[in-house]
Structure 1
Amino acid sequence: MVFLVFLVVSIAVVVLVMRAAERSGGAGGPGLGAPQAPRRPRPPRSTRPLAPDDDPDFLRELERRAKRDDGSPA
Structure 2
Amino acid sequence: MGRAVLVIAVLALVIYLLIRLVEKRRGVRQPRPQQPPRRPVVAPDDDVDFLRELERRRRRQQRDGQPEQPDN
Report if TM-score (shorter chain) is over 0.5: no
Higher helix share goes to which structure?
A: 2
TM-score normalised by the chain length of structure 1: 0.40
